[in-house]
Structure formats: structure tokens, C-alpha cells
Structure 1
Amino acid sequence: MARTQPESDTRERILCAALKLFAEMGYAGACTKEIAREAGVAEVTLFRHFVSKDKLLEEVMSRFTFVSVMPQLLAEIAALPCEEALTTLAGRFIDYLVLRKDWVRIMQAEMQRAPAKLFTVYHAFLDDLLGGFVACFRQLQQRGCLGDFDLEQGARMFHGICFNYFNQEELQGRKNYKSTDRELVIREFVRIFLYGTCSRRSE
């Protein structure tokens, strides 16, 4: 008698298939029948694990985004000097964006069309991501490494700096026009984020 695969394996195959097809075809273009076929399951099995395509998207974003690795990363950088901790955070975030470059590209295209459900899911995910940056900054504040500032606005700024670098280098192809030392760029971003650009505080 053939052994049945664990439900967790089936669920994982569906999630991986959904990630692949969403990245290739977009959320609107990838139908559940094709996702099920890619995963090697019946469509009814897909719906047994995920009650709707929207729920499947939510789970994909939760499972395969930077938010999922943030708790482990926070533990890893907890004892690092402040500048090194933020440099590590920025570097890992950019690495993750590069790894999921096709996914990021298709999500940007889908957001231009802005279907209401996708818009809500995306911004809920973004709130979670910014929450991870806030947790990091709060951790550094508690250690006395960072001063007092609006953590949410700081998170938006930090995210924007990292994402803009990724967007220019990877999506717009600047790296093919003019090479840069990525480590040096990230360290400079972090230095400016921490210390600003003024030579001294205004009187």
C-alpha cells in the first residue's frame, strides 16, 4: 500500500507552488487549478488547506517573507554593537529582497492594478514588516544604543533606504551600469541613519 504524505508536506507543496506561480503569473493570473497541478494535488485538496485564494496569498506572504525570519535575526543581533546590528539587519533584508526578486517585481505590478483584496493583504504584511524593524529599534533603545525618536517613522525610513537600494540595483539594473561595493553602501546608509549628515548640532 502506498504511503500517504503528511498533511504538512502537502500544505508546504501548495505554498511553494503558489509562490512560484504568483511570481511568474501574478496573483490574478495564477488560478487555483494551476497551483494545485503544480503542487501535484487535486484542486479540492488545495481548498481543504486554504479556504480561498486570498487566504492562500496571505499564507504565502506570511511564510515566505522577511517577517518570518525577524525573530531569529533579532536574537542574533541582540548583543552586537548598534552600528553592526543595523548593518546586519539592512544586509539581511536586502539579501531577502534579492532572493525574492521575482516575487517583489510581480507584487509591484499587481499593486499598480490595486485590486482591493490584494491591497489590504499587502499593507497588512507591510505593517508586520515595519513592526519587526520597530522591535529592533526598541531593543537597541533599551540597551542605550539609540536615542529617543518615533520608532514607526524610523522604521519607515530604514525600510525605504534599504528597499530603494534594492530597487535601483536589482529591479532597475543600476548594477549593470555602474558597479558599487554593496557592503560599503550599506554601512554608509546605516551611518547616515544613525548620525545624520550635520557636522554638529544646531545651536
Structure 2
Amino acid sequence: MEQILDTRERILQATIELIMEKGFKGATTRAIAQKAGVNEITLFRHFNNKKGIVKAVIEKVSYVPSLSKVLKEKVEWDLEKDLMMFSKLYQQLLDENRDLIMIGLKEAALFSELQQQMTDIPRQLKERLMEYLNSMREKGILIETNVEAQAMALIWMNFSFFMSRSQHDNKITDLTEEEFLKNTVSVLARGLTL
């Protein structure tokens, strides 16, 4: 079993490296197999096709499991503290995956399967946030509101800051990540708390 995981992991790592070097289109199954030190038949045995490999790569680098775990295990049921904790981790995970995210955004329109998988990440994140916000409402902490709209506001606020910094560094604002999150999360939390 360890050999299977080892081979699978080598294929995924080779795919990530090739995507970073050549984009999704340039990461052909032949190039992936060569870089991973396996033949294409082994690659297809593990993943069926390139779509399967791309799906596995996106699942591997997805930040949803980490953020979901935080929303289940680390919450203090203090809206501002919880949203700040979530936002800081979200920023960290976006930053760690910056290159793949930027390549994915650039090339998603070219590959329908990539576009669908990239859409699944924020959708799943929205669902986890909605669960948290609904729990806060049931506890009598959150005002009556459209929790989907509030979850998306938090996601978009964070992702927009990440994109602005990724594309423009600090040419638009000199606010640090800490200053930005402290102010925006605070206002959002105050507006949603009973």
C-alpha cells in the first residue's frame, strides 16, 4: 500500500511542478509520467485520465478541509474572534497556494473540468461558513439575516484582498493584512451580532 501512495504522491507532485512551470495545458500526461518517473499506463491506472489527475491535485491543494476543521474545532462562539481566526487562516492558505490559484484563474476558461473544480472550492467554503453562521443564529448570537449573503461577503472580502495584493502588491493601499482584517471583520461582526 505504501508503494501505491508513494507513486500516487509522486504523480501529484510532478503534476503540480509542471503546472507551475508550464500551466495546465503544458502539463501533459506524458510529461507528468516522465517527471514522476512512471509510465503513462501507471498514471492512467491511478487516475484514469488527465481530468482525474487535475481533480486530485485540486483536492490536494484545496484549503477547504483546513478551514472546515477550524470552523468545527477551534470556534469560540465569539463572532469577531471566529471570523478573524477564519480570515487569517484563509489569507495564509491563499498565499501558500498563490501560484496555483493564479494559474488556475488564468486557465480555467480553457478547461471546463478545471473551471468546475475551481468553482467547487468557494462553494464548499460557503457551505461550511453558512453552517457556522446558522449555528450562531440558533445560539441567539447572530441577527436574523441571509447567512449565504454574509458567508459570501466574508469570502469575497478575503479573496479580493488576496487578489489585490497578488496583482498590485501595495500599490492600491498600504494597509497591512492585519489592519485590513481587523477593521473589516470587526465591522462585519458588529453588524451581525445581536
- Residue 29 of structure 2 corresponds to residue 32 of structure 1: yes
Quickly say closer, same or farther: Cα 1:164–1:16, change in 2 above 3 A.
same
* Alignment check: 8 A CA contact 1:36 1:46 kept: yes
Could you tell me which residue of structure 2 aligns to residue 67 of structure 1?
A: 64
Structure-2-length-normalised TM-score: 0.87
2:10 counterpart of 1:13:
yes
Query: For the residues of structure 2 that align with 1:66 and 1:139, how far apart are their CA atoms?
Result: 22
SS of corresponding position for 2:26: coil
Q: How far apart are 1:104 and its partner, in Å? A: 1.0
Offset of residue 152 of structure 1: 1.9
Shift of residue 80, structure 1, vs aligned partner: 4.8
Distance (Å, rounded) in 2 between the aligned partners of 1:183 and 1:82: 17
**Structure-1 separation of matches of 2:10 and 2:135:** 36
Quote the residue 1:201 is aligned against: none
Question: What SS does structure 2 have at the residue aligned with 1:26?
Answer: helix
Query: In structure 2, what residue type is equivalent to 1:11?
Result: R
Letter of the 2:52 counterpart = K
Cα separation, 2, equivalents of 1:129 and 1:19: 22
Q: Choose the corresponding residue for 2:118, options 122, 139, 144.
A: 122
Q: Are 1:150 and 2:126 counterparts?
A: no
| 23-32 vs 94-103, which moves further | 23-32
Structure 1 residue 178 displacement after superposition: 5.4
Matched, 1:110 2:98: no
Equivalenced residue count is 191
C-alpha RMSD of matched pairs (Å): 2.1
Identity %: 25
* 1:40–1:138 Cα change, 3 Å: farther
Q: Tell me the residue number matched to 2:89.
A: 92
| Closer/same/farther in 2, CA of residues 178 and 123 from structure 1, 3 Å limit | closer
Q: Identify unmatched segments of 5+ residues in structure 1.
A: 197-203
| Greater alpha carbon shift after TM alignment, 187-196 vs 156-165 | 187-196
Equivalent residue, structure 2, for 1:200? none
Corresponding residue to 2:20 among 19, 23, 39: 23
Q: Indicate if the aligned counterparts of 1:24 and 1:102 stay in contact, CA closer than 8 A.
A: no
Q: CA deviation at 1:184?
A: 2.1
How many angstroms does 1:117 deviate by?
2.6
More helix by share: 2
2:20 and 2:99 in contact (8 A); partners too: yes
Q: Assess, with a 3 A threshold, how the Cα gap between structure 1 residues 182 and 125 changes in structure 2: closer, same or farther.
A: closer
CA distance in 1, matches of 2:93, 2:39: 31
Measure, in 1, the Cα distance between the counterparts of 2:36 and 2:164: 34
* Counterpart Cα distance in 2 of 1:72 and 1:122: 20
1:159 lines up with 2:155 in the alignment = yes
